[in-house]
Amino acid sequence: MVVMRRVVCVWVALVGCAAGPSPDAPADAPPPSPDAPPVTPPGPCKMKPLVPGTVTLAGCSVNGTDDGPRDSARFANPTNVLILPNRDVVVADFDNGRIRAISPDGTTTTVLARDDFKHPFGLALAADGTLYAETDDNDLGVHTTSTGTIWRVNLISRTASVVARDLGRPRGLAVLADGRIAMADHMHHTVSILDPATGIATPLAGALDVAGHANGTGAGARFAQPYDVAVLPGGDLVVTDMDNHRLRRVTLAGVVTDFSGSGERGTLDGTSAIARYDGPQGLARSPDGTLYVTDVRAHYVRRIATNGVVTTVAGDGTSGFVDADRPREARFYGLEGIDASATQVVVSDGNIGDGQPFHRVRRIDIAAFPD
Confidence of residue 17 (pLDDT cuts 50, 70, 90): very low
Confidence of residue 15 (pLDDT cuts 50, 70, 90): very low
Confidence of residue 159 (pLDDT cuts 50, 70, 90): very high
Among 38-47, 100-109, 245-254, 300-309, whose mean pLDDT is lowest? Answer: 38-47
Q: Mean pLDDT across the stretch 283-289?
A: 97
pLDDT attached to residue 43: 79
d(CA 110, CA 147): 24
Kindly tell me the number of DSSP H helices and DSSP E strands found in the chain: 0, 25
d(CA 124, CA 132): 5
Q: What mean pLDDT value characterizes the chain?
A: 91
DSSP class per residue in 339-358:
EE-SSEEEEEEE-TTS--S-
Residue-wise pLDDT tens digits, 54-78:
999 999 999 999 999 999 999 999 9
Q: Decide if 165 contacts 178 (C-beta within 8 A).
A: no
Residue-wise pLDDT tens digits, 353-364:
999 999 999 999
Number of neighbours of residue 16 by Cβ within 10 angstroms: 11
pLDDT attached to residue 35: 59
Higher pLDDT, 12 or 81: 81
Return the H-helix or E-strand segment holding 81.
Answer: strand 78-83
Helices (H), the chain: none
Diameter of the chain by CA atoms? 71
pLDDT attached to residue 18: 34
Q: Mean pLDDT across the stretch 8-21?
A: 36
Confidence of residue 274 (pLDDT cuts 50, 70, 90): very high
Confidence of residue 370 (pLDDT cuts 50, 70, 90): confident
Contacts of 243 (CB under 8 A, 6+ apart): 211, 224, 225, 279
Q: Mean pLDDT across the stretch 204-215?
A: 98
pLDDT at 252 over 80: yes
Residue-wise pLDDT tens digits, 171-197:
999 999 999 999 999 999 999 999 999
Q: Is the pTM of this model over 0.85?
A: yes
